[in-house]
Every structure is written in C-alpha cells, then in structure tokens.
A and B are shown apart, each in its own frame.
Chain A
C-alpha cells in the first residue's frame, strides 16, 4: 500500500529554536498534504492544508508565522515550528490522499518535545 513517511520521528529542542519536520509520500505524488497536531489521548486537530506550488491554508487559530509550511515538491511537505516553546510540545502527524479522498494515508508522526 501507499506509504507516507515523516522525519524525524522524535525531536527534542530548546525553547526559542526552530524545528523542521518533513512529510514524504514515498510511492505516490501528493499535491495536497495535511498537517495535524495531537495531544495525548486527544483527537487529531487539523492545523493546515499544504498545497504544492501555492500557499498553505491554515485553520482558524493556527499562527501561520509560527508554523511555516512549504510544499516543495509533489512528494514533500515540511512543517517548521519557529521559536518553539514548551507549549508547542505535541505529536505532529501529516496525511496525504493518494488518488481520491478514499485513500488517505497518514505518516507515523513526529513527537516534538520543547525544553
């Protein structure tokens, strides 16, 4: 089946630094990717929709200047958490539809810990 990967799987950074998370579709092209944030024992909260060749669409309440998204190619989207703070610590998951909406594949997630 289709595979979506994320890198890194776990990152610890100091407060004030920036962290980049990569989401790759390994065997299909994804013009759209989604970024979610998940707190422990909670649901996936959509942060933004990443669009190849154009600006990302952010959900209400998500700071676009803090969570920078770049969809550089048909197989890669990156999420950069700028000036990270401890409250940004969370599990970040990306997803991509393969061909149709019925084929939504999730990445394995990235656990971010900001100290």
Chain B
C-alpha cells in the first residue's frame, strides 16, 4: 500500500510569517493529494487539494505544490494568523475511495 510521511510534526511561527509542511509518498500511482485541517476534538476539514496533472494550486493564503518526480507535495500558508493554529494532515489517494494519511503537523501561530 501507500506510505505517506509528513514533516515537521510540530511547527511554530510568528503571526504574519509563512508556514510550510511537506509530505512524501511512496506509490507513484497516487494521483490525488488533499490537505486537511483539524482543530482539537473536531472533524478534519478539507482546505485544499491537488491532482497529479497539476503542479501548483493556490487559494488565497494557502497553496499546495506537487513534485511527481520526487513524489512529494507541500502545503504553504502565507501571512499566518492565530486561527490557522491546528493540526494539518496530508493524504494521498490511489484512485479508489481509500486515503492514506500523513502523521500530522501541529501548527502554532504565535500572536
């Protein structure tokens, strides 16, 4: 099966700075990569996703980049705000309904 690794496990940034979270995957057949934000005790919420035919996607302060050759993808959050503090998960999908999740990154934005 697919194996997704995520780094760093914890990340602290000053408000207004950028945050970058990186994930690698093992199966080159994976072709869909969503990112989820999870606040404590709540459900994961999809914040952005990218398909394998695209190298970059941006939505306001959030962007995701994908390098298929290297099998890694990254989440970029610019102009961070305290409400961005949460746990972020990357995931990879091979084409069916099953998703393989990264280990999560706990992001803290310091006011």
Contact = CB atoms under 8 A, between A and B. Distances in A.
Interface of A: 32, 34, 41-44, 46, 49, 91, 93, 95, 97, 101-102, 104, 106-109, 111
Given A41-B104, A43-B102, A43-B103, A107 B43 contact: yes
- Interchain residue pairs A-B with the least CB separation, the first 6: A106-B43, A43-B103, A43-B104, A108-B43, A97-B97, A44-B101
Interface string B92-104: 0101111111111
Contact of A104 (B41, B95, B99, B103): B99
Contacts, number: 52
B87 A41 contact: yes
Main secondary structure of the interface of B (DSSP, over half): strand
Contacts of B99: 34, 46, 95, 101, 104
Interface of B: 6, 32, 34, 36, 41-46, 49, 87, 89, 93, 95-104, 106
11 contacts: A32-B97, A41-B104, A42-B103, A43-B101, A46-B100, A46-B101, A49-B98, A95-B99, A102-B32, A106-B45, A109-B43
Given A101-B93, A107-B43, 20 more contacts: A34-B98, A34-B99, A41-B106, A43-B6, A43-B104, A44-B44, A44-B89, A46-B98, A46-B101, A49-B97, A49-B98, A91-B41, A101-B32, A101-B95, A101-B97, A102-B32, A102-B49, A104-B34, A106-B36, A106-B45
A6 B78 CA distance: 34
Contacts of A44: 44, 89, 101
A27 to B, nearest CB: 16
Contacts of A93: 43-44
